Each structure stands twice: as C-alpha cells, then as structure tokens.
Amino acid sequence: MSAKITPISADEPRVWAFTPENRAKVDAAIKKYPAGRQASAVLFCLDTAQRQHGWVPQAAIEHIAAILGMAPIRVTEVASFFTMINRKPVGKYLLQVCGTTPCWLRGSDEVFAAIKEETGAGKGETSADGLFTVMEVECLGACVNAPVVQVNDDFFEDLDKDNLKAALRKLKAGEQPKPGPQNGRHASEPAGGALTLKSIAGSSGVQS
C-alpha cells in the first residue's frame, strides 16, 4: 500500500473529488489513450483539479491517483515538475511575471514595482485581500511584446507602470480588462500600425 504524503498546506481538505461535470471531462480524456495507458491523462487531470479547486491539494493528488491506477507519488512527481500546477493556495488572480532577458530589458523590474504598489504583494507573495499572487517565471514566449504578465490564462503585454496599474484596478473592481497589448498596438505589429502589406484591400494597416 502506498504511503500517504504529508500535506503541503494547512488549508488541505480532508477529502476531495471531481464534480460530476469535471469527472465526465476526465473520463473522456482517459478514453483517448489505449488500455493500460490511462496515466497519460495525469496532466489533464491535474489541470482540471486546479481549475475546480484553485490549486491542487494532496487529497486531489490521491483522488487522481486512484482514478488513474497510479501511486500518489507518481502523480506528485508530475505536479511538482510543471510550474503551472500550484500545490498551495494562490489568489484569485495569479500574476506570472516574465523576468527573462527581453522582459527584463524592457522593464520587468518596473512591472514588479507596479504590482507591489497596487496590490501590496511582492514576488512569491499573496496580497492581504487574497486577490493576487505574484510569481516570477521564465520566458512566456511573447518577447516582442515585452514586458509581459500572464494573469490566469490571459497575457497582458507591452506593459508599463500606468497601464498595468489600470488593469489591476479593473481586476480589483471585478471587471475584466482586455488581454493583449496594453499600449494600443495590434498584436505584434509595430507601434502605430503595420509598415508593410498596406496594399491589401481593406487592411488599413491592420491584418484580420
């Protein structure tokens, strides 16, 4: 029998299970794999558990392990390897700030300062109101739009102190700021609009 793993957080629930809706999603994911290979669905299960609970408690690890026929430590190995899986509580809004070279050169230090000023939370901290958790991460793959912050599933790009604070204030107020570039440019086009392919009918410098 597999040994129980010591819970990481004091907020760990004693029991945990997928909702019927999420269990149906998990079962559908498992069916995509050949018989005996259900463990291949472990990352999907972990992500689904996190979306249901906000983070992945030990009880969820053991629930997933039972569903997939895995030892809990095997599920834990996957959960601890992928940084997008949170093993302890996070705020309603998880702010993942890219600190890799392009974002650093374009002002990621200023981004951290703006977050601290607006939310009170620094790197690795959660704001007193429980709304925001701040993490520094490696490259988010949007270097041309640096600096970048991922807020839950959305990217906020071309940030400076003012436009980031404006977005954070909207989140505080329960509003959803528009993701993407925050400086008015379209996608990754040059500031002020496209400089090439302007002869395409109906483009007006913006490609659909």
Span 53-82, pLDDT tens digits? 999 999 999 999 999 999 999 999 999 999
Average pLDDT estimate for 32-39:
94
Query: Alpha-carbon distance 145 to 133, whole Å?
Result: 22
pLDDT attached to residue 204? 55
Sheet containing 132-137: give its strands across.
132-137, 93-98, 149-151, 154-157, 180-181
Tell me the average pLDDT across 21-35: 96
Mean pLDDT score of the chain: 90
Specify whether the CB–CB gap between 86 and 56 falls below 8 A: yes
Question: Rounded to two decimals, what is the model's pTM?
Answer: 0.80
The DSSP bridge pattern shows strands 93-98 and 132-137 to be parallel
pLDDT digits 0-9 by tens, 181-197: 999 888 888 877 777 77
Query: Which of the listed CATH numbers 1.10.10.1590, 1.10.730.10, 1.10.4160.10, 1.10.3720.10 matches domain 20-81?
Result: 1.10.10.1590
Can you list the alpha helix ranges (DSSP code H) found in the chain? 20-30, 42-53, 58-68, 72-81, 101-105, 108-119, 161-172
pLDDT at 203: 55
Residue 1 pLDDT: 41
Q: Side-chain half-sphere of 103: how many Cα atoms within 13 Å? A: 26
What CATH class is the domain 93-181? alpha beta
- 143 Cβ contact partners less than 8 Å away, ≥ 6 residues apart: 100, 102, 103
**Where are the chain's structural domains?**
20-81, 93-181
Percent of the chain at pLDDT above 70?
Answer: 90
